[in-house]
Structure 1
Amino acid sequence: MIKFVYLVKRAEHLTFEEFVTYHRERHAPLFKSIPEAAKYVRRYTVSHPVPAEQYPAPGWDAVVEICFDSWADHDAFFTSENYRTVVQPDESTFFVHADISVMVTEERVII
Structure 2
Amino acid sequence: MIKFTILLKRNSALSRQQFVDHHRNIHASLFMSVPIVKTTVRRYVQQHAVEFQMPGLPPANYDGVTELWFDDIEALGRCFSDPEYLDQVRPDEAFFLDLHACDFVVSEETSVWNSVAI
Q: SS at 1:13's partner residue?
A: coil
Deviation at residue 53 of structure 1 after TM alignment: 4.7
Unaligned runs of 5+ in 1: none
The residue type equivalent to 1:28 in the other structure is A
**Whole-Å separation in 1 of the counterparts to 2:68 and 2:34:** 15
1:83 matched residue in structure 2: 85
Question: In percent, how many aligned pairs have the same letter?
Answer: 35
Deviation at 1:35, TM superposition (A): 1.0
Paired letter, 1:78: F
Query: Which aligned pairs between 1:6-85 and structure 2 lie closer than 5 A?
Result: 6-55=6-55, 56=57, 57-85=59-87
Instruction: Quote the Cα distance in structure 2 between the aligned partners of 1:71 and 1:2.
Output: 6
Q: Which has the larger radius of gyration?
A: 2
Tell me whether 72-81 or 47-56 shows the greater mean CA deviation.
47-56
Shift of 1:54: 4.4
TM-score (norm 1): 0.92
Structure 2 residues without counterparts, runs of 5 or longer: none
TM-score (norm 2): 0.87
Instruction: Provide the alpha-carbon RMSD of the alignment.
Output: 1.3
